Structure 1
Amino acid sequence: MLRIEDISYSVEGRPLFERASAIVPAGHKVGIVGRNGTGKTTLFRLIRGEISLDGGEIALPPRARVGGVAQEAPASDISLLDTVLAADTERAGLLAEAETATDPARIAEIQTRLADIDAWSAEARAASILSGLGFSEAEQAMPCAAFSGGWRMRVALAGVLFAQPDLLLLDEPTNYLDLEGALWLESYLQRYPHTVLLISHDRELLNRAVGHILHLENRRLTLWTGGYDAFARGRAEQRAVQAAEARKQEARRAHLQSYVDRFRYKADKARQAQARIKMLAKMEPITPPEEAAEQRFTFPQPDQLSPPILRIEGGAAGYDGRAVLRRLDLRIDQDDRIALLGRNGQGKSTLAKVLSDRLPLMEGRRVAASKLRIGYFAQHQLDELRAEETPLQHLARLRPDTPPARLRARLAGFGLHAAQADTEVARLSGGQKARLALLIATLDAPHLLILDEPTNHLDIESREALVEALTEYSGAVIMVAHDFHLLSLVADRLWLVSNGTVQAYDGDLESYRADLLAPERTQPKKPAKPRPGPSKERLTELRSEARRCEARVEKLNEMRDKLAKKLADPDLYAPERADEAAVWQRKYAEVMEGLERAEGLWMRAMEKLEAAETA
């Protein structure tokens, strides 16, 4: 259990938390939401103990392991697989000690503990996590130094997932993943055996991977049950009730004040007036909910061109004479909304560059409408913004003949109002920079808008605003994004970039999710090689192992039943017994975790025995 009790914390005199409290039971998966700048990442630093509270307490169970991704994996000569394996420090330490231990009792303890933590399957588990995050088998054997910072962030994420800390803290983990990696992470977190706190602006991830939402607002914390959609509905209803109560109170206050103003100095009404003054003084003010700042994008509408606006015939594209994509036969009309699917490294960004005419074809031809205008947004373009210039100066350089008032209006149409328009880009937030880059990409009212991961720095409200803008936009859209919610609302066609080419994907996004997360159902199994039958001694050994595993499961089941009976006692949850209840809940969680592992070992032992007996 994570207990946050009456915490207070300020940064340079600005309070982020004031008597904020929340309790997260063990094993819960919780999404943390709140406006940018409210202190979500700071909360993680407080939980990890990196900074000190001004007041209050954050308590975790004794010896609880807390893990998260603070920085990318180092650019070392160690392979990706070994880097991830080293993240489980207990396993690494036990294996190192096993090499030098001489005491038989200690050797037995080490081997027992290694079996308990399933150390012998560790390499397969680490490889599976790396594969899910987009690394091929060959890449897993390569050194970390061979990969860029974004890919090393994936290695760091793989490491913390493999280590399975008791409290997993993830801060925007999908920002450096593609759609395929994000869907895999979503599925993995659903099965994660311990507590998870997840900061994310990915609405679909918050709907599918967590069961509670921890909302940070007005320096307080509120825990809601359900995913993001349930939270949004509940909060809207709460805000409506709060606003109605505030209006009623204001009307009541005005009525009382009117009576006081009319009669406080009249002798026959003075007593009643004084009574109403006391009522006004005692009336606790109900503050109406603060209205969220409107998030918006305003895309200029292009003129209509005859279809198709762009064709590629017999195309091949790549770099340094090596083709990444071949057999490209594609057509784009102005009413197309196309999502590009496929794992990183398959060529989605290469295709986007070809379509935007930033990369010439090696073979074939690209045929575009004579007046075609293309807008292109990619994450690297945020780095190409001039840090020393303001957004207004960026537009003035691109549109020197346009009056400043009109340029300011264009900036306001992307949520960059007076304060941001005159602020140097270096001092803008990531979301504000993304808005400026989107504005520049759409400045010419393009007929074709190509968006390569446009949402990385946008909060949930801004993503919803982007959906609305793209819905109203009358040009074609080609999009690469890891935001499943955005793609499901915007895209009506899917192109799969895989195996060196691009093909229309016949299913929808849900079927793509299913295909991605269940590849074993679509891939033919390799025929098993014939093996010699097991010896009698081997069969005896396997039967003995199966019996030991079964006995362990029975013992843990007995322990579980006893603890469940203990936890069913209502008296245990009295306020004065909160610490005792937490101890029993922790023990129950530990037994359930051990039972899950023991059952897995038993099933594997039975499968080995069955295979041996039928060989």
Structure 2
Amino acid sequence: MLQIKDISYSVEGRPLLVEASATIPEGHKVGLVGANGAGKTTLFKLIRGELVLDTGSISLPSRARIGGVAQEVPASETSLLDTVLAADTERARLMAEAETATDAHRIAEVQTRLADIDAWSAEARAASILKGLGFDDDEQQQPCSAFSGGWRMRVALAGVLFAQPDLLLLDEPTNYLDLEGALWLEAYLARYPHTVIIISHDRGLLNRAVAGILHLDEKKLTYWTGPYDQFARQRAEQRAVLTSMAKKQQARKEHLQKFVDRFKAKASKAKQAQARVKMIEKMDTITPPEEAAKRVFTFPQPDELSPPIIHIEGGETGYGDTRVLGRLNLRIDQDDRIALLGKNGQGKSTLSKLLSDRLPLMAGKMTRSTKLRIGYFAQHQVDELHIDESPLTHLQRLRPDTPPSKLRARLAGFGLGADQADTEVGRLSGGQKARLSLLLATLDAPHLLILDEPTNHLDIESREALVEALTAYSGAVILVSHDMHLLGMVADRLWLVKDGTVAPYDDDLEAYRKMLLSSDKPAKPQKKPEAAKPARPSRDAILALRAEARKCEERVTKLNDMRDKLAKKLANPELYEDSRKGELETWNRKYAEVMEGLGRAEGLWMAALEKLDAAETV
């Protein structure tokens, strides 16, 4: 259980938390939500003990392990798989000790503990987590230095998931995942065996992976049971009730005050007037909730073009002489809303670059409307903004003849007010930078808008505003996103990028989600009149059994070596002299312990081999 009791914390005199309290029961999965800047990440740091509370206390069970992803793993020469295995420090320490221990009793203790923590299947478990986060078998054996920072963040996430801390703190974990990785993470967290708190603006994650919402608002913490949509509904109902109560109270006060103002000078009514003054004074003022700041995106509307705006026949594209996509037969009309599906590395970004004229067609035919304007947004463009310039300066460079007042109005249409317009980009939040990049991508009123992960760093209200803006937008949209809610609200067509080509996906997003989550599971046996043949275990399950059998064999070999060394020691006649009777008893006891351990190890080995044999013969 995580107990947060009456905590207060300030930054440079500005209070973020004031006597805030909450209790998170053990094993619960909780989403931490609140406005940007409310202090969610700061609360994580307070829980981890990285910051010191002004007042109050945060308590966990003794020896509880806290884990999270603070930064990407270093660009070392260690393989991804070994990096993840090393994240379980207890297992790594015990495995190292198992290689050097000489005391038979300690060897037995180490081996027992390794069995308790399921250390022998660790390699298969780590590989399964890495696979879920987008790394294939070959990539898992490559060094961390072969991958970019975003991919090394995935390795760091894999490491903390593998270590299974008692309290897992995740801050926007899907920001560096694609849709497939995000869906895998949702399912993994839903069955995670310990307590999880997630800071996220991903509505799908907060609806499917958590069963409670911890709301940080007005410097207080409130725990709501249920997923995010239930919280949002109950929160809206609460706000409506408070607003209604505040209005009724204000009307009551005004009624009483009118009586006081009318009769306070009249002797016959003075006592009654005074009584009403006291009634007003005794009222506990009901403060109506402040209206949430309106998040906006205002996309300029393009002129209409004749369909299709893009048509590809027999197309091929790639990089240099390397073909990535082929057999492309695609048509895009101006009223299309298309979501690109497909696992990482299949070619979604390649297709986006082809459509946006950032990659050439290597073969086939592509026709475009002659007046076609294309807007392109990708996360790397946010990082390419000039950090020492203001948003207004960015626009002035592209529109030097436009009056500053009109440029400021364009910025305001993307939620960048007067203060943000003149602030250096380097001082803006991630969400504000994303807004500026979206503005730059749509500045020319494009007929086709290609958005590659547009919601990173956007809060839930901003994501809803983006949905509204895209719904009102009269151009075509190509969307790549890990946000299932955004895809479901915007897209009316699905394209699956797979096996070197692109084809329509005729089912819906929910079917695609279920397909991804079941892809690593054993297939169900076909129903037959006679008894059905058992389903063959998945590849990951067989790998786990093989790893377990191999480790069991290694354990038996090591204990056999220890037995042979002790037998040689006990064969020394001098050990049986009366003067060494105590020493003889010690060696006999160690020999008995090793033989007992060897018997258990051989039993585990035989059981592992039987499980493996049964799995491989299905």
- TM-score, structure 2 normalization: 0.85
How many Å separate the matches in 1 of 2:123 and 2:76? 19
Matched ranges for 1:505-584 at <5 A: 505-520=505-520
1:130 aligned onto 2:130:
yes
Equivalent position of 2:354 in the other structure? 354
Q: Residues 106-185 of structure 1: matches in 2 within 5 Å? A: 106-185=106-185
CA distance in structure 1 between the aligned counterparts of 2:234 and 2:457, rounded to whole angstroms: 26
Aligned to 1:188: 188
CA distance in 2, matches of 1:614, 1:315: 44
Which of the two has higher C-alpha Rg?
2
* Separation in structure 1 between the aligned mates of residue 511 and residue 211 of structure 2, nearest angstrom: 23
Cα deviations by residue, 1:242-270 (Å, 9 ceiling, x for unpaired): 01111111112222222333333433333
Give, in whole Å, the separation in 1 of the partners of 2:617 and 2:495. Answer: 46
What is the 5 A alignment of 1:111-510? 111-510=111-510
Q: What residue is the counterpart of 1:611 in the other structure? A: 614
User: How far apart, CA to CA, are the structure 2 residues paired with 1:516 and 1:522?
Assistant: 13
Deviations 1:316-361 (A, max 9, x none): 2222321222222211111111111111111111111110001112
Offset of 1:419 from its aligned partner?
1.4
Query: In 1, Cα distance between the equivalents of 2:538 and 2:176?
Result: 37
Matched residues in 1 for 2:457 and 2:610: separation? Answer: 48
Deviation readout 1:19-40 (Å, 9 max, x if unpaired):
1000000000000110000000
Equivalent position amino acid for 1:510 in 2: E
Partner of 1:533: none
The amino acid across from 1:608 in the alignment is K
AA of the residue aligned to 2:414: F
Q: Is the 8 A contact 1:340 1:479 kept in 2?
A: yes
Amino acid at match of 1:20: A
Deviation at 1:306, TM superposition (A): 1.1
Q: Is the 8 A contact 2:129 2:162 kept in 1?
A: yes
- Letter of the aligned partner of 2:58 in structure 1? I
The structure-2 alpha-carbon separation of the partners of 1:610 and 1:521, relative to structure 1 and needing over 3 Å to count, comes to closer
Partner of 1:534: none
**Do the aligned residues in 1 keep the contact of 2:536 with 2:615 (CA within 8 Å)?**
no
Distance in structure 1 (CA, Å) of the matches to 2:124 and 2:352: 35
Distance in 2 of aligned mates of 1:101 and 1:521: 39
| Aligned residue number for residue 97 of structure 1 | 97
Task: Give the drift of 1:189.
Answer: 0.5
Deviations 1:466-514 (A, max 9, x none): 1111111111100110000000111111111122221211211111111
Whichever residue aligns with residue 422 of structure 1, its letter is: D
Equivalent position amino acid for 1:611 in 2 = A
Distance 1:80 1:147 in 2: 10
**Residue 43 of structure 2 corresponds to residue 43 of structure 1:** yes
CA distance in 2, matches of 1:433, 1:31: 25
Do structure 1's residue 11 and structure 2's residue 14 form an aligned pair?
Answer: no
How many Å apart are 1:131 and its aligned residue?
0.1
Q: Distance in 2 between matches of 1:240 and 1:289?
A: 9
What letter is aligned with 1:58? I
Moved more, 97-106 or 285-294: 97-106
- Other-structure match for 2:33: 33
8 A Cα contact 1:9 1:16, kept in partner:
yes
Segments of 5+ residues of structure 2 without an aligned counterpart are: 524-534, 540-548, 553-603
Amino acid of the structure 2 residue aligned with 1:130: L
321-330 vs 151-160, greater mean Cα deviation = 321-330
For residues 253 and 613 of structure 2, what CA distance do their matches in structure 1 show?
79
Deviations 1:77-126 (A, max 9, x none): 10000000000001111111111222222211111111111110000000
- TM-superposed CA distance for 1:364, in Å, is 2.4
In 2: Cα distance, 1:93 partner to 1:445 partner? 59
* Contact 1:315/1:362, CA 8 A, preserved across alignment: yes
Q: Secondary structure at the match of 1:268?
A: helix
Structure 1 CA distance for aligned equivalents of residues 232 and 537 of structure 2: 47
User: 2:115, 2:467 → 1: CA distance?
Assistant: 50
Corresponding residue number in structure 1 for 2:530: none
C-alpha separation between the residues in 2 aligned to 1:206 and 1:527?
Answer: 29
C-alpha deviation, 1:138, in angstroms: 0.1
CA distance in 2, matches of 1:37, 1:398: 31
SS of the equivalent of 1:502 reads strand
- Once residues 451 and 220 of structure 2 are traced to their aligned partners in structure 1, the CA distance between those partners, rounded to angstroms, is 36
Q: Which whole-Å CA distance do the structure 1 matches of 2:617 and 2:319 have between them?
A: 53
The one-letter code matched in structure 2 to 1:95 is M
Letter of the structure 2 residue corresponding to residue 296 of structure 1: V
How far apart, CA to CA, are the structure 2 residues paired with 1:388 and 1:50?
31
Distance apart, 1:274 and its partner CA: 2.7
Residues in 1 aligned to 2:10 and 2:615: alpha-carbon distance in whole angstroms: 64
Alignment deviations for residues 189-242 of structure 1 (CA, whole Å, 9 cap, x no partner):
011000000000000100000000000100000000110100000000000010
- The answer to whether the 8 A contact 1:515-1:522 is kept is no
Q: Which runs of 5+ in 1 are unaligned?
A: 529-537, 542-600
CA contact 2:8–2:17 (8 Å) conserved in 1: yes
Q: Which amino acid aligns with 2:267?
A: A
The CA distance in 1 between the partners of 2:177 and 2:617, in whole Å, is 44
Q: Within 2, Cα distance between the matches of 1:329 and 1:30? A: 45
Deviations 1:415-435 (A, max 9, x none): 112111122211111111111
Structure 1: distance between partners of 2:295 and 2:538: 56
In structure 2, distance between residues paired with 1:611 and 1:322: 43
The 1-side partners of 2:613 and 2:300 are apart by 67
Which residue identity lines up with residue 248 of structure 1 in the other structure? Answer: K
Conserved 8 A contact 2:521-2:538: no
**RMSD of the TM alignment (CA)?**
2.4
Amino acid at match of 2:236: A
Q: CA-to-partner distance for each residue in 1:26-67, whole Å, 9 max, x for gaps?
A: 000000110000000000000000000000000000000000
After TM superposition, give the deviation of residue 296 of structure 1 in Å.
Answer: 1.1
Q: 1:612 to 1:341 in 2, by over 3 A?
A: closer
| Cα distance between partner residues in 2 of 1:427 and 1:115 | 51
How far apart are 1:401 and its partner, in Å?
2.2
The AA in structure 2 aligned to 1:398 is L
Question: CA distance change for structure 1 residues 485 and 614 in 2, over 3 Å: closer, same or farther?
Answer: closer
Change in Cα spacing, 1:487 to 1:93, as seen in structure 2 (3 Å) is same
Q: CA deviation at 1:610?
A: 9.1
Give the AA of the match of 1:421. Answer: A
Q: Which residue number in structure 1 is paired with residue 586 of structure 2?
A: none
What is the rounded CA distance, in whole Å, between the counterparts of 1:6 and 1:55 in structure 2?
7
* Distance in 1, Cα, partners of 2:307 & 2:614: 61
Q: CA deviation at 1:522?
A: 8.8
Matched to 1:338, the amino acid is: I
CA contact (8 A) 1:315 1:329 kept: yes
After TM superposition, give the deviation of residue 405 of structure 1 in Å. Answer: 2.1
Code of the aligned partner of 1:247: K
Q: Which residue identity lines up with residue 26 of structure 1 in the other structure?
A: E
SS of residue paired to 2:267: coil
Equivalent-residue separation in structure 2 for 1:121 and 1:413 (angstroms): 54
Distance in 2 between the 1:305 and 1:481 partners?
Answer: 27
**Equivalent position SS for 2:288:** coil
Q: Give the secondary structure class of the aligned counterpart of 2:268.
A: coil
Of all paired residues, the percent bearing the same amino acid is: 75
Whole-angstrom distance in 2 between the partners of 1:613 and 1:316? 41
